[in-house]
Amino acid sequence: MESAPPATTQPQSVWRFARATRAHVVVDAAAYFELMQQAMLRARQRIHMIGWDFDTRVRLGPGRKFYNLPDKDVQPARLGAFVVWLVKRNKGLQVRVLKWNFGALKFIFRGSMILDLIRWFFKRGIDFKFDSAHPLGCSHHQKIIVIDDKFAVCGGIDMTSDRWDTPEHLEADPRRRHPYGTRLYGPWHDLSMLVEGEAAGALAELGRERWVAAGGAALIPCAPQQDSAWPENLKAEFTDVEVGIARTRSAWGRLDEVREIEALFVEHIRRATRFIYAESQYFASRAVAEAIAEKVAEPDPPEIVLINPATAEGWLEQTAMDGARVRLSHAIAQRDHKQRFRIFIPRNAAGTAIYVHAKTMIVDDEILRIGSANMNNRSMGLDSECDLFIDAARPGNEHAAAPIHRLRVNLLAEHTGMLREAVEEDLARYGSMIDLIENAPRQGKRLDPFVLRPLTDAEKAVADNALLDPERPEELFEPFSARRGLFRRGGLLRRPG
């Protein structure tokens, strides 16, 4: 095992900086699915889809409900039939789909998805592969789509079932339904970022590298073209802006370990002087928690607002992530002398908890970060991840501060049920997101404070030793060690009682 770098070594936090002619943040999957349908309709050379999961049964947007109906000029609404329709319509179009291999067995239980994959297999121009290019216990977690090497999207939204929702997060919305099923799923919140130009080209390069690592034949870069797949009626929030790209990757074969995302989290948290607004599916990362604890211990710390789901999905994730969140919150509280760190749970107007799948952070309305990486150990060192960020302090990016501020206001408005004008007024009045949230109306959508529940001794042991959420692949096989865990020897955080 390689030794850790010396403490004086500054870890690399960015893979690449590249300009984007346009960039835009898409909030929630209803808008995302429809925009991606529009973008894919404009594809000319290649659509490269890279994801943790895909479900060909999901409905993207307007179109024919069934594959074999007349009026062939109208696109099918479902992803599987839509892709076949695209390559029939454009004989030169390539579609490459890369999905994490662990979920392959899910297809057996997805009915018509098997038929879609058979159609894909026999359709020239479409190639589908499962990604197993990672150590045992790791996953391929990136959510990237690149079109013609000139347009790309990266973020938290998977093109799969149980993701579609609107910012209203209505109770029992009949549109929020499992494919071909009668059962509804609960409200779901997520974000992704669209980019155009050099930034999309960089993500295309990353995607080609991942495709080859997963066993695919080398992909030739797309030929330069004038037009991009940017949706025709979408006005970009950002124009001519520099975008940073950071990655996580376990060592595998000839690929070295990459921990840029972890270093970038620490760097961005340390940059904060006024506030951090963040949304994450989990809060279980030792490195992130230590950076927050260091920050709130300052004489005049910034306020830090973290939006989390009420609980993780599934028994295994609840055991690993929920316990770690409680333990880290207690440990941070020991250093949070001004009570500036708060976790809130979003609820819709009926009081139902909204599941937060977003991976977003805004620092001082100066840094905007959106990607696939959660605030857990796996995203820092085990799983393949990709995050994008815009830093308004970088040369030529000064104009990005205003749209970053608008996005934070819009997200606070979505979660509190307030008008964005009211959010602006209350931010100016209180000078604090925490005060705004605590004084917001309670009769509609709202943010509730996260209540720390008591843990059993077994839950504490699982959380403290990061048994189900290790920082490196080899730690899966050394479950108890002073060198690992949330409160490792020499770490910043003290183990709570």
Q: Which of 239, 255, 275 is the last residue of a domain?
A: 239
CB atoms within 10 A of CB 271: 16
In a domain, 82, yes or no: yes
Look over the chain and give the mean of its residue pLDDT values, rounded to a whole number: 92
Same domain, 80 and 175: yes
Same domain, 319 and 170: no
pLDDT at position 181 is 76
Residue 400 near residue 238, CB atoms below 8 Å: yes
In a domain, 62, yes or no: yes
Cα gap 127→273, rounded to integer Å: 48
Give me the residue label for tokens 């002087």: 273
Same domain, 257 and 155: no
Cα gap 17→34, rounded to integer Å: 28
Q: How many domains does the chain have?
A: 2
Residue 449 near residue 415, CB atoms below 8 Å: no
124: which residues sit within 8 A by CB, 6+ positions away? 87
Cα gap 343→325, rounded to integer Å: 10
Same domain, 180 and 319: no
Same domain, 307 and 428: yes
Residue type, 343: I
pLDDT in tens, 199-239: 999 999 999 999 999 999 999 999 999 999 999 999 999 99
Its pTM stands at: 0.94
pLDDT band at 1 (very low <50, low <70, confident <90, very high): very low
Name the DSSP letter for residue 9.
Answer: S
Residue 55 near residue 211, CB atoms below 8 Å: no
In a domain, 3, yes or no: no
Same domain, 408 and 442: yes
pLDDT in tens, 62-96: 998 755 554 567 899 999 999 999 999 999 999 99
CB atoms within 10 A of CB 91: 8
Mean per-residue pLDDT, 327-347: 97
pLDDT in tens, 146-202: 999 999 999 999 999 999 999 999 999 999 998 877 789 999 999 999 999 999 999
Residue 353 near residue 370, CB atoms below 8 Å: no
Give me the residue label for tokens 């004989």: 91
CATH of the domain at 392: 3.30.870.10
Q: Which of 222, 239, 256 is the last residue of a domain?
A: 239
For residue 484, give both structure tokens. Answer: 């690992």
Mean per-residue pLDDT, 5-13: 61
In a domain, 6, yes or no: no
Residue 417 near residue 446, CB atoms below 8 Å: yes
Same domain, 154 and 30: yes
Same domain, 168 and 266: no
pLDDT for residue 472 is more than 90: no
Question: CA quadruple 98, 99, 105, 109: dihedral positive or negative?
Answer: negative
pLDDT for residue 105 is more than 50: yes
User: Which domain covers residue 175, as residue numbers?
Assistant: 22-239
In a domain, 493, yes or no: no
Q: Which letter, b or e, does each residue of 386-417 get, where b requires 16 or more Cβ atoms within 10 Å of its Cβ?
A: bbbbbbbebeebeebbebbbebbbebbbbbbb
Percent of the chain with pLDDT over 90: 78
pLDDT for residue 482 is more than 80: no
pLDDT in tens, 377-389: 999 999 999 999 9
Same domain, 230 and 290: no
In a domain, 375, yes or no: yes
Cα gap 423→437, rounded to integer Å: 9
pLDDT band at 6 (very low <50, low <70, confident <90, very high): very low
pLDDT in tens, 31-70: 999 999 999 999 999 999 999 999 999 999 999 875 555 4
Cα gap 259→246, rounded to integer Å: 8
Give me the residue label for tokens 């992803």: 79
In a domain, 378, yes or no: yes
CB atoms within 10 A of CB 418: 22
- C-alpha angle 315-347-321 in degrees, rounded to nearest 5: 30
In a domain, 14, yes or no: no
Please give the helix or strand (H or E) that residue 289 lies within, else none.
helix 286-296
Q: Which of 223, 239, 255 is the last residue of a domain?
A: 239
Same domain, 212 and 277: no
Residue 292 near residue 315, CB atoms below 8 Å: no
Same domain, 120 and 146: yes
Same domain, 279 and 213: no
